C-alpha cells in the first residue's frame, strides 16, 4: 500500500459526516449528491433553492481548493476520456435508478441503519471491486 493515508481519510470522512449532519439540522434533508443534483435536473422538483445552494457551495469550494491546494486533484491514474464519459453515463443512470450513491446510501443511509442503503452499498462496492478487477487484471489495465 504505497499511498495509504488513513489519517486524512478519517478526518475528511468526519468532515463529510459533519456536512451531512449540518444539512439535516438546517433543512432536514439527506445529503445525497446524486439525489440533490438529479432532482435539480428534473422539471417540477420542489425545494430547488437549497439543492442549488448546496451544490453551489460544493462547486465554489472545489474552485477554492484548486487555487490553494491543487494536489487534492492530483491522480497517478486516470481513465481515458471516452471511458470517463461512459463511466459518467453509467453512474448517472445507475444512481437515478437506484436512488443514491456513496453519499446518500453509503454515508447517510448506513448511518440511519437503512436496509435498502445497506443492500445498495454492498452492491455498488461489489460491482466496483469486480469492475476494477476485470479492467486491471483481466484486460491488463485497459483504459
Q: Smallest distance from the beta carbon of 101 to another protein, in angstroms?
A: 5
Q: Smallest distance from the beta carbon of 137 to another protein, in angstroms?
A: 5
Q: Smallest distance from the beta carbon of 25 to another protein, in angstroms?
A: 5
> Nearest to residue 63, comparing CAs of 73, 53, 54?
73
CB count within 10 Å of CB 96 equals 17
To the nearest 10°, report the CA torsion of 25, 28, 34, 38.
Answer: -140
Q: Smallest distance from the beta carbon of 28 to another protein, in angstroms?
A: 3
Distances (CA, A) of 67 to 32, 58, 61, 105, 141: 26, 15, 10, 31, 32
Place of cell 447517510: 108
Residue 120 burial (10 A CB sphere; 0-12, 13-18, 19+): buried
Amino acid at each position: 500500500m504505497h499511498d495509504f493515508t488513513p489519517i486524512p481519510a478519517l478526518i475528511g470522512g468526519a468532515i463529510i459526516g459533519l456536512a451531512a449532519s449540518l444539512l439535516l439540522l438546517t433543512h432536514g434533508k439527506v445529503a445525497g449528491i446524486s439525489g440533490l443534483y438529479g432532482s435539480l435536473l428534473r422539471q417540477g422538483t420542489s425545494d430547488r433553492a437549497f439543492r442549488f445552494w448546496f451544490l453551489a457551495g460544493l462547486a465554489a469550494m472545489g474552485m477554492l481548493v484548486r487555487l490553494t491546494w491543487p494536489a487534492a486533484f492530483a491522480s497517478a491514474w486516470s481513465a481515458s476520456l471516452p471511458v470517463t464519459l461512459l463511466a459518467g453515463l453509467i453512474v448517472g443512470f445507475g444512481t437515478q435508478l437506484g436512488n443514491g450513491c456513496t453519499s446518500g446510501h453509503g454515508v447517510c443511509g448506513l448511518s440511519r441503519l437503512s436496509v435498502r442503503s445497506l443492500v445498495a452499498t454492498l452492491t455498488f462496492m461489489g460491482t466496483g471491486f469486480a469492475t476494477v478487477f476485470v479492467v486491471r487484471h483481466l484486460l491488463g489495465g485497459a483504459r
